[in-house]
Amino acid sequence: MRALPDRRYGRCAGISRVLRFCREAKGMAATEFALILPILVLIFFGMLEASDAMLANRRATNAGNALADLVSQAKVVTPSELQEIFTGVTRMLQPPDGSSVSMTVVSVSLDPDDNSRMLVEWSRNNAGETPYAAGSEYDRIDDVTVLQSGVSLVVSELIYDYNSGLTSRVLGSPLTISRIASRWPRRSVRVKLCPDANPYC
């Protein structure tokens, strides 16, 4: 006659297997790494993207200052000379594919009839256009006291749509960086924009 199996032994064996499974550490590290890997990758690329964006921001600041500084060193500038300056400043930015740069140079002076207003003497952008009509009010600079009567101020405007590819995917659009810089003319009371290098234009 065959003896019946002891049910208590079966229960103990089942509990033993459960305890052994709980104590088993093999594969636990791999499982945890697989769970945390996507987060680590996201943090890594996020840090790279933030670093590139900070570099682009610093380059935009330097480029805006350089644009105003270069123009302020001349007594007379021509459209072709301005275009060469725009080209050089764009190279400073080293924009990645898909990015766009808009630059404008404006010469402003005080309104002789109202010293609380700035008037545009001339303007030119890197598209070869005149974004501000001569004689129109200029309101991109809040502090009018930086100007003196009879002296002009060279203002540079830079709009940099930085697009690294990942930026537009995360934000849905490029990162727009805007900068305004100003400089006093170095060699005269005003910088003239002339069709040629004739200082008496």
The average pLDDT across 93-118 equals: 88
Would you place residue 18 in the very low, low, confident or very high pLDDT band (cuts 50, 70, 90)?
A: low
The average pLDDT across 95-124 equals: 90
pLDDT of 65 reads: 96
Would you place residue 55 in the very low, low, confident or very high pLDDT band (cuts 50, 70, 90)?
A: confident
pLDDT of 16 reads: 66
Residue 182 has pLDDT above 80, yes or no: yes
pLDDT of 184 reads: 94
Average pLDDT, the chain: 83
Share of the chain above pLDDT 90, in %: 48
The average pLDDT across 179-186 equals: 94
Please state whether 194 falls in left (phi above 0), alpha (psi between -120 and 50) or beta: beta
Q: What residue segments make up the domains of the chain, in order of their start?
A: 29-193
Residue 129 has pLDDT above 90, yes or no: yes
What's the token pair of residue 132?
């501000």
pLDDT of 195 reads: 85
| CA 47 from centroid of its chain's CA atoms | 16
Which is more confident, 45 or 3?
45
Residue 84 CB: number of other CB atoms within 10 A? 13
The average pLDDT across 180-199 equals: 88
CB 45 within 8 A of CB 164: no
How many angstroms separate the CA atoms of 65 and 150, rounded?
23
